[in-house]
Each structure stands twice: as C-alpha cells, then as structure tokens.
Structure 1
Amino acid sequence: MTIRYLVRPGSALKGRFPVPGDKSISHRSVILGALAEGVTEISGLLEGDDVLATIAAFRAMGVVIAGPDHGHLRIEGVGLRGLKAPQTPLDCGNSGTAMRLMAGVLAGQTFASTLVGDASLHKRPMGRVLQPLTAMGAEIHAQDGKAPLQIQGKPLTGIHYDMPVASAQVKSAVLLAGLYAQGETCVTEPAPTRDHSERMLNGFGYMVSRQGSSACLQGGGRLSGQSMQVPGDISSAAFFLLGATIAPGSDLLLEGVGINPTRTGIIEILTRMGARIDLTALREIGGEPVADIRVRYAPLQGIDVPPHLVPLAIDEFPAFFVAAACAKTPSTLTGAEELRVKESDRITVMAEGLRALGVGVEERPDGAVITPAPIKGGQVDSHGDHRIAMAFAMAGLVASGSIEILDCANVATSFPSFPALAQAAGLSLEQLSA
C-alpha cells in the first residue's frame, strides 16, 4: 500500500503520553528470550513491523512465542542450541538490526539458513558484519556484501575485533556469535555506541565484561529466561522533542523514555542549540535508565555538532536537520558518513527535501551545512525512510504552506501509532493511502 502524509501548517504540540517501546531493546529482548532457557515475559514491546519480523523468524526456527498483545510477549526459550533449521528464508523486512544480529546468531548453528529482506534492506551493506563473523569461522555467502545472506552454521572461534567504524549492530552481532564460539570474544569500538546488548546479556545471566572501550565474553555459557519491561524509544521521542521545540506555544511531557547515555546525543545536541528539555522522574527499568521528558518551545541557534555526539545520535539526525533549518544561524554536521547507509542515504534525502521547502543545504561526503530559512510548503519524498517521513511531518508545524510527504508506509516499522499520537498532540496530519 502506498501511504503519504499531508501536513497542514500551524498549531503547537501539547499533552502528556508515553512513546512506543524502544526498537533496539525490543529486538534484543526477542533474540535473547528465544535463546534463553525457560520463559521470558516482555512488556512494553514495540509492535512495529521490524520487531514483528524478528518474532516471525524465531517462530520459523521452532520457538513458541505468544503475542504480542498490547506490548506483552511470552517466549518459551529453547536455549542456545535449541533452534531448528527454518524451512524457508527468514524475512527481516526493512530491519538492518534484525539481519545483522541474526547473522551473528545463525553463524554458529548446526544448520543452513538464509536471511532476506525488502528492496531497501537488500541495498544496505552487510560486509562490516560478514568480515568479523568470517574471521570467527563463519561461512556466509553474499553478493557484493549485500543480502540475501546464505549462512551455513559452523563451529566458531572467539576473536578480538577492533571495529573500524563505530556500530552497535556490528558489535552486537559479534558478541552474539561469541555465545557459540570457543574461547573469548572481544569487540573494541572506536567511539561509544549503544550498549543495550551488553546490558541485556548481563540481565539474562550471561557475563559481559567491560574493559575500557572493549566488551568481552566467554563462549559456552547459558542464558536464563527473564521478566522485563521495554522503556520508551528515545529515537521515536526525538520527533516530538523536535516538534515541541520549534512550534511556538508547545509544551509536551513524554513519559517513560529510555535515557541510556549511549542514546541521548539528540537531547544534548538540541539542548546545545537552546532547546528547553527537562528530565524528571528518573528511574531504572530492566537495567536501563528511564525518565519523563518535558519539552517546550524555544528559539534555536545553529551549532557545529561535536564529533563525540555523532554516534550517540546516529538515528536521530533527520530530526536535527529540521531543527537546524529552524535555527537562527547555520549548523554544520561532519563525521556522519554512516547516515549514507541507513534505510536511505539520509544526508542526500534530507538535503533534497529541505531544499524543496526553501532551506539551503550544502551536502558534504560526511555531513552537511544547513543554512536556516523560513520553511515553505511543498512536496518531499521520504524514499521509504520512516525517520525522514516523521521529521518532515514535524516540519509542517512551522511551514508557511502544506507539506506532502511521499512513501510513508515504513513508519510502521518503528512507530505504527505515530499518525494518531501526532494528531492527538496537535499536529494537523492526514494520512492518505492508495
């Protein structure tokens, strides 16, 4: 189905509500729950298409999973060696997280499997995962380093891997393969990335040690089923942080949002620009720090994004591009070449979209310079990228005319309730389908 958004200008965002469960944590909870011994009960799970694809994949490998039902999932874990050979290729849909993490799990099995996805996922590079897995002894066939991935499970040997590029997905894939490897597996990252896998492995009773910038584990252990709650997704919250910051009169309270320090780059970036963002009711849920986040309208100044914040906000830069377009002075982003291999080339797609709305953007190989200008109405193409669609939807709050956003169906991969929540908060958004 073709879905597009029509956003009319004006209004402010107000109210209080939770955002959907964290996508990264939801994926990992399903994977570790399936590989654990005993039952895992999950609440607050994101019921987006990406996570549903991960659930379907483990069902296809013999794991009994009940739900999801209003965010609740019950998994009867089969243990590390209990998966069965799937009879058909495992479809990861649009999810790079699912494909890369499952490649790590499947590399050490005793059977063959194939990972496939949609057209967008088949364009995304998998070589950065295949290289360390192959070094561990995995047998994975891919054409030009891209899906489909044909995996023949093999005995694995632990390695010490220095990642050339900071990537939580690569780190997680290698650690998951390390569960099946003989000896110690260590991953050293050049810059901090989200650490949900390490936290959750420890929560499931599998020790991961942290030594400086390295995460290490020994193969041959076991995971124990757990009861856990998934906090709200800061990547989803980012679009409401953006909208309430740029729209005069806005005042929002987002409840129960995960504020893992490896994920809060967008909060620090917006705060450096002048945003009024307050964290309240700080607490911990399932080993993850959580807070209620209040955000109110504030005029913004442009910034040069500090390099150390880039990996801590890598999924939220579509929101930053729009915030930068609404600032009083130019902003510069560098060191973000990773954005070119997301669901779309986010540097080019955001630059093209903002130019179509009257904003000046100088595209660079690893980022962009955004020169603020009044946002006009117009048509932009999200190129099937959920985060770009939501960022431009929020731009409609301050546009001088209506904004039509094309190819928005994939918003359902991470935030299926976005249109309804945005409308309830005050965004004049109409979802059109054909």
Structure 2
Amino acid sequence: MSHSAPRPLRAAAPAAPLAGRLGVPGDKSISHRALMFGALAVGTTEISGLLEGEDVLRTAAAMRALGAEVTQTGPGSWRVAGRGVGGLVEPADVLDMGNSGTAARLLLGLLSGHPIFAVMTGDASLRRRPMKRVTDPLSATGATFWTREGGRLPLAVRGAADPLPIDYVLPVASAQVKSACLLAGLCAPGTTRVVEPEPTRDHTENMLRHFGATVSVTDTPDGRVVTLEGQPELVAAPVVVPGDPSSAAFPIVAALLVPGSRVVIENVGLNPLRTGLIATLREMGAALRIENERIAGGEPVGDIVAEYTELSGVTVPPRRAPSMIDEYPVLAVAAAAARGVTRMQGLAELRVKESDRLAATAALLAANGVQAMIEGDDLVVQGTGGAIPGGGVVETHMDHRIAMSALVMGLAARSPVAVDDAAFIDTSFPGFATLMNGLAGGAPIGPA
C-alpha cells in the first residue's frame, strides 16, 4: 500500500482515434459510504461494483478495525456485517487513511458519536490537509480532538459518551463536512441540522434513506437545510455502486479532444449534484449524449456517449463548483484545447484538495505551453484552438487527478506530456493507463 519509488509516465498522441465501450471504476464517494453505513447497520449489507482503489480499501480496513465484519466475496463484491448505530468498538491500532480525505473526514464524524478513543493518520499528502473544518463543528457533539498544529493529522479523538446533536451552518459548501456532521448525528438523540450555502453532493442523504434513516432537505433563502432524526435503526440494504462520474471525466474529455474519437462509458452515476462537468462541456459545444438512463441503489445512472468536437471557451459560474469540484483539472485541459477564453469562477475549495489543485492545474497548463492565470479564486485559460503545444513534465504533487488530467492532455497535444509520478492514480482509478490504451488500440500512455 505504500508509495516508495515514483512511477513517471508519459502520454503521446495515439496513432488512431479513441473508440470502444468501457466501464469506469465504481463511484468513490458511494463506495466509502456503502462500507461505513454497512458497518452501522443491523444485518449484512451486500455491495456490488465497489471501487477497489486504495482509498476505499483503507475505509474497509478502518471499518474492520472498528468491529464490523468486512469481506470481499468477488471482484467488486463485498459483504459487511454491521454492528448497529453506536455499536463500533475501540480500534486496537492507529487508523491509517492513506491518501483519502473523504474517508478521514467522514470517519471523524462516525468516531465523534461513539465513546471510544482512536488515533488517525495518513500519507504525506493527507497529513498536510486541514481537518479543523471538520473537528470544529464535531466538537459540538462533546467529542474531544488532539491534532497537530493547524488541525492536521495525525490526530487523536475521544468520542462523546452522550453525544449531542449538531446545529451547524457551513461557512463553505463542502459535502465532506456536511457528511461528517450527519454521521456524528446518527448517534445523538434529537435532530441534527446542517445548513449549506450551496447544494453539495447528496450521496450521504440518499444512502441514509436507503438504510432507513429519516432525512429531510429544505431549500430556504439562507441555503439548503438538511436535518437528520438521531438514533435511527439502520437496516442492512444492498448497494449497487455506479461508475464514478469523476473517473468518467477522463475518457470523456480524451474522446472530445482526439480527432475522430467516439467512446461510450457505461453505467455512470448521473446524480444531478455531480454532473456539472457534463453541463459545462455541453455549453462548450461538446457532442455528449446520455443513453439508457435508470435508477440503481437510489442513484440515477446511464451510459455517456462522447464524440470528438471542436470546443469553444465559456464562463463557468461559481455556483456550479460543488457539482464538479474534482473535474476542474480535466476541464482545464478541455479549455486548453478550445477556441477562446474559459473562465472558471469560485474555485477556493480547490486550494485544500489532495494538493493546492488550483495552483497545480495552472502549473500543468503552463508547463505545456498553455496560457493560464489565477485571478483571485478564478482560473482563466486561453484556449489554443486545438493546438496544445505539450512537451512538458508535470509535477503531480501526489494528486491522482492532476496526473490523469496531464496524461489526457498528452493524448491531444502536439508533443508528449510526462508526469513525475503516476503511482497515486490507483487511489481512484486502478488500471487507468491500460484502459485508455485499450481505447487507443495501442500504448500512447507508457513509462516516461
């Protein structure tokens, strides 16, 4: 599980257009939550399509350490025998969350409501990421946290013996902070209430209902109010994990940028709070169609058909950021290939991702001959009209999405694009290079 030697990769223009049908790995957000809610439910939860990337395997290991029985029964198929709400036990060792901010922040919510002591750490990237935005509201439950300077991991938590419900107004829209508060509220009597300024991904609310909790959502002039009735009995329920729209973004953009391409990505999650990239690419003129729409496990899914298109620059409004927060690096690659200027507004949240993703995205473009500027919290990209120079080496800063975005750029650039380390791609998209090479009918992505 540890990353020692870096794995440099490079991508060059393929000899033929990208073509074919593919599935992308299971949705990471839903995979984490399926394991956590399975651990809190009474009975045995069967999960299919689970993302078996490192981040999610860390969550599986953490749930095991907290007393749930978690077993893999086949590729993507898992079984979780839960302990009921409030039933988690004290872990015997440190919980190592690897590279996963989602797992770490949601788990802090779970631990806050249980009268147990736990210590959490992560890899070098995760130990740099701020946890204070979660520990501050969670302290209202009665939980106590000890952290490194700046609220960073490793940290220790002693959960509340008699947890109190939380009433919290989010200063910045964040699905992770919202979810942590709701998970803490499961163990508290009474109503937990979270107000978010902009709607963020609602997988936690959907899955809580799927497992039998009472969750209500109301839009008010002050924001979206999410309430949870505490101490529900969660009952085991099967979960079918759809393909991750954030992972689908990479083959979608690659197909749009490589001339003559047509790619179908099957069984992708189409939760409306996750489809900001599709809306944006369509505004840029992209030939994108959705086929075979259906509902699975409380979530809308469908197949996405992407065909090569000459794109035009657009302005992306700040209110769209929560629905595509992980897709900005690959959108910036599409913007680099488009005609005209693309301005992505309101990207403050990108500064606290796996890396300072705003700075890393601007640097990715600059290293490959594309003009880009950060103006306040906006990223402004000057499109090349389909003639990205390329030829650069991109510093990934241990960020899987920066690495994959750079490799997609290499497929569409005049000169190959290299990344200093691609080892971290496995956290969210195991087999990424193999799958992209399969669409190209060759190996445009290979060792640098």
Could you tell me the TM-score, scaled by structure 1's length?
Answer: 0.98
Give the paired residue count.
Answer: 433
Partner of 2:9: 5
Cα distance between partner residues in 2 of 1:408 and 1:384: 8
What is the one-letter code of the residue matched to 2:397?
A: H
Cα distance between partner residues in 1 of 2:348 and 2:217: 27
Q: Deviations over 1:193-232 (max 9, x none)?
A: 0000000000001111112211111212111011120001
Partner of 1:432: 447
Whether 2:187 is the aligned partner of 1:187: answer no
Whether 2:147 is the aligned partner of 1:147: answer no
Contact 1:19–1:236 (CA<8 Å) still a contact in 2? Answer: yes
Any unmatched runs of 5+ in structure 1?
Answer: none
Whether 2:88 is the aligned partner of 1:88: answer no
Partner of 2:110: 105
CA deviation after TM superposition for structure 1 residue 136, in Å: 2.4
Whether 2:134 is the aligned partner of 1:119: answer no
CA deviation after TM superposition for structure 1 residue 431, in Å: 4.0
Partner of 1:399: 413
Report SS of the residue matched to 1:263.
coil
Contact 2:37–2:208 (CA<8 Å) still a contact in 1? Answer: yes
Percent of aligned pairs sharing the same letter: 47
Whether 2:420 is the aligned partner of 1:413: answer no
Partner of 1:129: 134
Cα distance between partner residues in 2 of 1:258 and 1:362: 32
Cα distance between partner residues in 2 of 1:182 and 1:148: 30
Contact 2:212–2:232 (CA<8 Å) still a contact in 1? Answer: no
Partner of 2:379: 368
CA deviation after TM superposition for structure 1 residue 153, in Å: 1.3
Cα distance between partner residues in 1 of 2:205 and 2:43: 20
Report SS of the residue matched to 2:44.
strand
Cα distance between partner residues in 2 of 1:175 and 1:16: 38
Cα distance between partner residues in 2 of 1:81 and 1:431: 48
Q: 1:249 aligns with which of 253, 256, 260?
A: 260
Q: 2:217 aligns with which of 203, 210, 224?
A: 210
Q: Deviations over 1:30-61 (max 9, x none)?
A: 00001100000000000000000000111112
Cα distance between partner residues in 1 of 2:234 and 2:7: 41
CA deviation after TM superposition for structure 1 residue 68, in Å: 5.9
Cα distance between partner residues in 2 of 1:93 and 1:16: 32
Partner of 1:303: 314
What is the one-letter code of the residue matched to 2:439?
A: A
Partner of 1:16: 21
Report SS of the residue matched to 1:241.
helix
Q: 1:388 aligns with which of 399, 402, 406?
A: 402
CA deviation after TM superposition for structure 1 residue 62, in Å: 1.9
Whether 2:165 is the aligned partner of 1:158: answer yes
Q: Deviations over 1:167-203 (max 9, x none)?
A: 0000000000000112110111100100000000000
CA RMSD between the two structures:
1.2
Any unmatched runs of 5+ in structure 2?
Answer: none
Q: 2:178 aligns with which of 171, 174, 187?
A: 171
Q: 1:66 aligns with which of 65, 71, 82?
A: 71
Partner of 2:354: 343
Cα distance between partner residues in 2 of 1:200 and 1:120: 29
Contact 1:47–1:68 (CA<8 Å) still a contact in 2? Answer: no
